[in-house]
Amino acid sequence: MNTDIADLVLQLNDCCQLQKKTVSTAESCTGGLVSANITEQNGVSSWFLGGIVSYANECKQNILKVNSGDLEKFGAVSETVALQMAIGANQITGSDYAVSLTGVAGPGGGTKNHPVGTVWIAWANKNEANAECFLFNGDRKSVRELAVKQALLGLIKKIKK
């Protein structure tokens, strides 16, 4: 595991334990990498409820209840879809906080509007949800790792708030 990511997981663990908060994930382009990194740390079962890998749009619709019209109108790599994914994970698991990631990790799949490295990350709790778009540089592995770091940083920030 990347040591930066491991350190962030430890910080998240401390935050969740201290605040008595739970977390879930909904991942597309990271394919479960956030969840995998979280579960590398022992003791997370007290706050990590689970993760959903919704790589295909059908999965986003059927499991996370992402609106099919929004997928058609905005595409999977969009603020709207990222928000719906995070809200869906939050509702399905009953977690206090959820994070979602959807993007283009590469090396192919990029477009003019969504070049390789574009990742939308959304965070949700029972009262609010927000999303941010990132453009990460590097190969597929780097893009995914950078996305994981940002997702964890955002969770830590939200829980500490």
- The yes-or-no verdict on residue 1 having pLDDT over 70 is no
Q: Which of 115, 102, 40, 49 is nearest to 71 (CA)?
A: 102
- The yes-or-no verdict on residue 142 having pLDDT over 70 is yes
Q: Residue 16 is inside which H or E element, if any?
A: helix 3-19
**Which CATH number characterizes residue 12's domain?**
3.90.950.20
In the chain, the percentage of residues whose pLDDT exceeds 70 is 99
Q: Which of 16, 14, 154, 10 is nearest to 95 (CA)?
A: 16
Instruction: Look over the chain and give the mean of its residue pLDDT values, rounded to a whole number.
Output: 95
**Side chain identity at 36, as an amino acid letter?**
A
The pLDDT, as a whole number, for residue 107 is 86
With the CA atoms of 3, 11, 88 and 126 taken in that order, what torsion angle do they form, in degrees rounded to the nearest 10?
-170
Domain containing residue 135: 3-160
Please give the average per-residue pLDDT across 135-151, as a whole number: 96
Please give the average per-residue pLDDT across 84-107, as a whole number: 96
The radius of gyration of the chain from alpha carbons, rounded to an integer in Å, stands at 14
Total domain count for the chain?
Answer: 1
151 — pLDDT class (breaks 50, 70, 90): very high
CB neighbourhood size of 27 (10 A): 26
Q: φ and ψ at 139, to 5 degrees? A: -80, 180
Instruction: Summarize pLDDT for 32-78 with one digit per residue, the tens.
Output: 999 999 999 999 999 999 999 999 999 999 999 999 999 999 999 99
Q: Which of 148, 57, 51, 33 is nearest to 90 (CA)?
A: 51
Please give the average per-residue pLDDT across 120-142, as a whole number: 97
